[in-house]
Amino acid sequence: MHSTTSTQYEKACFGMGCFWCSEAIFRTVPGLQAFQVGYMGGTTADPDYRSVCSGTTGHAEVLHFEYSGGAARYAQLVQLFLQGHDPTSLNRQGADCGTQYRSVIFYDSTEQEQTALATLQAAQEKYAQKIVTEISAASQFYPAELVHQNYFEHNRFAPYCQSVIQPKLDQLTDHGC
């Protein structure tokens, strides 16, 4: 008789500008699963890409995924989140501008909220500007259209992927997660 171990997965949801970039970065981390890009934090039910990009829905472009390892692993993921974008830029990442590109962590538990707050507070000393990352309770997640899922993998040689996503991936080759 052998015992089977069941890994408990928790959900994480980060908005760090363009969700194509977020997904490409986090897909490099071993042990993460169930990736989906989509929308969270707004007031419109069933938003789509066009409506979110209009800036009228209140949603952020986000990456939603599952991980195991508890608070210590979550803290590592928050650190990678910080490294993968500019958390001091309000409603903007590079050329992408608007509230849909805001820096945001949507937490699923009090433990995640506390870990995110502590990680951001500890990281603040590394930044000349104030970290403006929003930390909010997770709300309804709306998956983005299929064309946006795993975008980098399917469009690796597209100009945006080569000029924006690939350089970020090159910078983050050793993220320690």
Q: Please, which residues have CB within 8 angstroms of residue 74's CB and are 6 or more apart in sequence? A: 10, 12, 67, 111, 112, 115, 116
Cα distance between residue 81 and residue 117, in whole Å: 13
Q: Identify the DSSP state of 30.
A: T
Angle between helices 19-26 and 70-83 (to 10 degrees): 130
Q: Is 18 a catalytic residue?
A: yes
In a 3-state reduction of DSSP, which class is residue 161? helix
Pair 113, 138: CB distance under 8 Å:
no
Pair 67, 31: CB distance under 8 Å:
yes
In this structure, the number of other CB atoms found within 10 A of the CB of residue 23 comes to 24
- Name the helix (H) or strand (E) containing 16: strand 10-16
Q: Indicate which residue of 13, 18, 21, 161 is catalytic.
A: 18
| Catalytic annotation, residues | 18
